[in-house]
Structure 1
Amino acid sequence: MRTAVTDTQELTAERSRPVAAPPERVEERGLVVDGFAYDCRIVHQRAPRTEPLLLLGGSSQNKYSWQGHEKYLAPLCTLITMDLPGYGTADFLPARYGIDFLASAVKHMLVEIKMPRVNLFGGCFGEVVGLRFAQLYPEFVSRIIFCGAAKRLPEIYTAAVPRLSHALERGRIEEAADGLVRLFMSNPSAGRVRKHAAVSRLLQRQFLDQTPDEITKAVEHNTRLLTHGCYQPLPVPDVPSLVFTGEYDTLCTPQMGRELAAAMPAARFTTIKEADHLVTVERRQESADLIGRFCTDDPIDDLPYCTPMESPRTGPVAAAGCR
């Protein structure tokens, strides 16, 4: 989902390590793959501490959705976001083009902008594309970070898609918006979630404000996922990896995150406290801090905003750095 929400106050996570220089410049590139136009946004860092960070967001996010994270992450490395074919302002992509095609578009973009190796972040649907990209093109990947992720489509999603798509196709936008908010936000009784009411209102407004083009792409996106699925049991590169979500995520639950981490050779897993599926919105600074620490090999154990780190393949691990 989109994460372009304005915080009314700074969050409480602290970054104890020094930061690098401010970003040098912002570049936007228009590209074409197999006849489909798409584009990317690059926030260059002239003195990076780590490889460029590629941020693949959810299906309703676009290349600007991560601007709120830039002040935390851009001092560390070059940031790359993109509107893949079929999403954001890119060309419409028929549902017959599956996840392999989107993964190949990510590779195409990195080749075109001459970024041979990246730290890979995928959130929600971005994890689906990111994992396939890592599986098919492991030579491009230095580290992997997935958020709000799963290796199977959530049952509540597959159950909701027919009625939500029907409502969108019939122009019943308010009905669809209500259903989408319920799908992505946890039930308030599940536990305390930061900014739950504010983020719910934000999502409601964003869904109501969708353009006809965005609605058409959203319906096609749902068809694509139901047609092609979200996971193939292909080898995953043995690189430092982290999977996390909000502790009250009811869409891609913590257990689903553990299952994904267990299918990866070197993945650790944690949850961020007082958050749900929209953890990168509700706890923006904390999630950015965790991502930044992992990408720069700073310690990620015993962070006050996280539950204890786990290694799902072997059980709980002793305190250590991210490698």
Structure 2
Amino acid sequence: MRTAVIAAQAPPRAEGSRPVPSAPERAEERELVFGGFRYTCRIVRQGAPQTAPLLLLGGSSQDRYSWQGHEKWLAPLCTLITVDLPGYGSSDFLPASYDIGFLGDAVQHMLTEIGVPEVNLFGGCFGEVVGLRFAQRHPRSVRRIVFGAAANRLPELYSEAVPRLTQTLERGDIEGAAEGLVRLFMSNPEAGKVRRHAAVARLLQRQFMNQTPDDIRKAVEHNIRLVTHGCYEPLPVPRVPTLVFTGEYDTLCTPDMGREFAATMPGALFTTVKEADHLVTVERREESADLIARFCTDRSVEGLPYCTEVEAPCTDHTLAQV
């Protein structure tokens, strides 16, 4: 185990009826092994939590440090857990023969190893795919679910782009792959106003251009894994409070796809975040953190100025939090 201590952040000022948070205590990293593959998780401890630990599972191009920008809003409320699962980030390469179920079980292995019996689960983009499989296979480990930029099937845009992107990466055209990935993840500027659109596009371009040979190898294997095994299985979903959201201009996992996905989950609520697209958690970092925090601490998500009207697509709305 490697443990790295960081300085605690000052708690934000209380607003209205918002609970007064406590400062997080410390952060640590744990190196673990599951199925013979080494992987690493990051834990930001909160000694006086207001809710269960929050597990943040990000997209395939995000790692355990990608959520540090959200910590000043989330860490004062509860313990935060992020992870580079096998095959992603700095963890061991994972052959495509290992499917999403393996990754879902790796999440449960991590929680068992670090002594966390139950979490509030957030999954964004690919993190939603892994998070859903984890929740389906280990329902007793989940207290609440929040999914962002989510869908219950592989988007056609992605399925069409995968062969081209894979070939581009395999022949070493990193610039071409970066441009393709930016177009895939971000909306057309003419679709509608998206906060920080140009800045986030530059950030993504730079991130993709700086990929190491190991990153590229893992990215190619990730695409093969999704195409080979698919993302979704019709397994029961835990009957826990659930919120699904996406950016109002998301062209990859569109609002209609998110609404359709929410309709399959018992009692789920659905909303879109204004002036955002698929990268809603990057473009509107504070707002997405606030939305997650509100839902995980049983505060209302109705009438928020940065969201559209909250819907209940599933007719079984007995577990919805409004």
Name the SS for the 1:303 alignment partner.
coil
Contact 2:255 2:272 in 1 (8 A): yes
CA contact (8 A) 2:241 2:320 kept: no
Task: Give the match for residue 125 of structure 1.
Answer: 126
Quick one: distance in 2 between partners of 1:151 and 1:237? 15
Counterpart residue number, 1:141: 142
Decide whether the 8 Å contact of 1:151 with 1:231 is kept in 2. Answer: yes
Matched, 1:296 2:302: no
Question: What's the C-alpha RMSD, in Å, of the aligned pairs?
Answer: 1.4
Task: Please say if 1:227 is aligned against 2:218.
Answer: no
Whether the 8 Å contact between 1:298 and 1:321 is mirrored in structure 2 is no
How far the C-alpha of 1:266 sits from its partner, in A, is 1.7
The residue number in structure 2 matching 1:114 is 115
Structure 1, unpaired ranges of 5+ = 1-13
Deviation of the 1:92 alpha carbon: 0.1
The TM-score normalised by the length of structure 1 is 0.93
| Contact preservation (8 Å) 1:144, 1:241 | yes
Corresponding residue for residue 249 of structure 2: 248
Shift of 1:214: 0.2
Alignment match, 1:50: 51
Matched with 1:314 is 315
Q: Is the 8 A contact 2:242 2:320 kept in 1?
A: no
Q: Which amino acid aligns with 2:32?
A: L
Residues 112 and 194 of structure 1, relative CA distance in 2, 3 Å threshold: same
Helix, strand or coil at the partner of 2:272: strand
1:39–1:84 Cα contact (<8 Å) kept: yes
**Aligned counterparts of 2:20 and 2:296: Cα–Cα separation in 1:** 13
- Does the Cα contact within 8 Å between 1:191 and 1:274 map onto a contact in 2? yes
Residues in 1 aligned to 2:24 and 2:144: alpha-carbon distance in whole angstroms: 21
Q: Show the counterpart of 2:11.
A: none
Amino acid in structure 2 at the alignment position of 1:64: Y
Query: Structure 2: how far apart are the matches of 1:28 and 1:172?
Result: 34
Alignment of 1:15-94 (within 5 A): 16-94=17-95
Query: How many Å separate the matches in 2 of 1:299 and 1:311?
Result: 14
Query: Are the equivalent residues in 1 in contact too, given 2:87–2:94 (CA < 8 A)?
Result: yes
| Structure 1 residue 69: Cα displacement | 0.2
- CA distance in 2 between partners of 1:16 and 1:247 (Å): 28
Q: Is the partner of 1:311 in helix, strand or coil?
A: coil
Q: What is the identity percentage for the equivalent residue pairs of Structure 1 and Structure 2?
A: 73
Q: Is the 8 A contact 1:299 1:321 kept in 2?
A: no
SS, match of residue 121 in structure 1: strand
Deviations 1:107-131, CA, capped at 9 Å, x for gaps = 0000000000000000000000000
- Cα distance in 2 for partners of 1:128, 1:18 equals 31
> 2:7 corresponds to which residue?
none
Kindly provide the amino acid, as one letter, of the partner of residue 118 in structure 2: R
Task: Quote the residue 2:285 is aligned against.
Answer: 284
- Check 1:15–1:107 CA distance in 2 against 1; reply closer, same or farther (3 A cut): farther
Opposite residue 171 of structure 1, the aligned amino acid is G
TM-score of the superposed pair, with normalisation by structure 2: 0.93
**CA-to-partner distance for each residue in 1:123-143, whole Å, 9 max, x for gaps?**
000000000000000000000
Which secondary structure state, in structure 2, belongs to the residue aligned with residue 310 of structure 1? coil
Question: Size of the alignment, in residue pairs?
Answer: 307
Using the TM superposition, give the Cα deviation of residue 192 of structure 1 relative to its aligned residue in structure 2, in angstroms.
0.2
Query: Structure 1 residue 19: deviation in Å?
Result: 2.9
Residue 164 of structure 2 aligns to which amino acid in structure 1?
A: R
Retained in 1: the 8 A contact 2:158–2:252?
yes
List runs of 5+ in structure 2 lacking aligned partners: 1-14
- Within a 5 Å distance, the mapping from 1:160-309 to structure 2 comes to 160-309=161-310
Equivalent position SS for 1:250: coil
